[in-house]
Amino acid sequence: MRYAIEAGGLVKRFGDAVALDGVDLRVTAGQVTAVLGPAGAGKTTLLAVLAASVRPDAGWTKTATPVLLLDEPAADPAADPADDPADDPARAGTVLFTTRDPAQAERCADRIVVLDRGRVLAEGRPGELRRRVGGQILHVHPSVPADTDAITRILTELTGAVPARDAGGLLTVPATDPMLLSALVRRLDAAGVTADELGLRRPTLDEVLAALTGSPE
């Protein structure tokens, strides 16, 4: 495999702040790679080190000259996703861009590197990342709003986690136990409450990022 970018053991400190804490990176030539992470993760510092505009305290880099590095390219959510600047140069060659937006990373990148607190937490294709985090999301919508509390209690007892509730009243909670769905149906039945939506789905990349970085969505 031919790498357009290779880096190993990158460390960069700014006083007491550790911007990069031992980053290893390989970017395959011809691919679009997103460095995805929350504010302060070290994304800009990593790009600056790769562009040789910032000297790392430790580590090494090898970057081929035609590589396009984009730091948080702005994407207008109202615009056609096909117009995304991070997507555009994809046809031209190797691109490495940074973003805080999982949707932009998923839309534009072949591979995603999740960076947080100066460390690579995970990397892979978007679908791989979702599978790696494991588990699914259970979603339940009460038939009548009055049953929300009862269903919330049942979900909390069954999963050990308090479900999130969105503006539309949909309750969601991470699910790792494959028997959860049938157990839930029995409990709802016994409690005499009904749901007009009930199912399991893969986590979104936002939920994956929140699970990896421990940050609220």
Question: How far apart are the C-alpha atoms of 173 and 161, rounded to whole Å?
Answer: 7
Would you say 42 or 174 has its CB closer to ligand ATP?
42
Candidate residues 9, 40, 134, 199; the one interacting with ligand ATP per rule CB under 6 A: 40
Ranges within 121-160 binding ligand ATP (CB under 6 A): none
Would you say 44 or 152 has its CB closer to ligand ATP?
44
**Is residue 19 a contact residue for ligand ATP (CB under 6 A)?**
yes
Size of the site for ligand ATP (CB under 6 A): 12
Site string for ligand ATP, 41-80 (x = CB under 6 A): xxxxx-----------------------------------
Going by C-alpha positions, the residue among 135, 88, 119, 113 that lies closest to residue 21 is 119
User: What's the token pair of residue 13?
Assistant: 């400190």
Q: How far is CA 21 from the centre of its chain?
A: 20
Would you say 16 or 196 has its CB closer to ligand ATP?
16
**Is residue 172 a contact residue for ligand ATP (CB under 6 A)?**
no
User: What's the token pair of residue 89?
Assistant: 């140069």
User: Could you tell me the smallest distance in angstroms from the CB atom of residue 77 to ligand ATP?
Assistant: 17
Question: How far apart are the C-alpha atoms of 14 and 55, rounded to whole Å?
Answer: 11
Site string for ligand ATP, 78-107 (x = CB under 6 A): ----------------------x-------
Candidate residues 14, 58, 74, 76; the one interacting with ligand ATP per rule CB under 6 A: 14
**Is residue 213 a contact residue for ligand ATP (CB under 6 A)?**
no
Long-range interactions of 142-149: CB distance < 8 A, separation 24+: 142/169, 142/171, 142/193, 142/194, 142/195, 142/196, 143/193, 143/194, 143/195, 143/196, 144/194, 145/169, 147/193, 147/194
E strand intervals along 43-155: 58-63, 68-70, 95-99, 111-116, 119-124, 136-142
Which residues bind to ligand ATP, rule: CB under 6 A? 14, 17, 19, 37, 39-45, 100
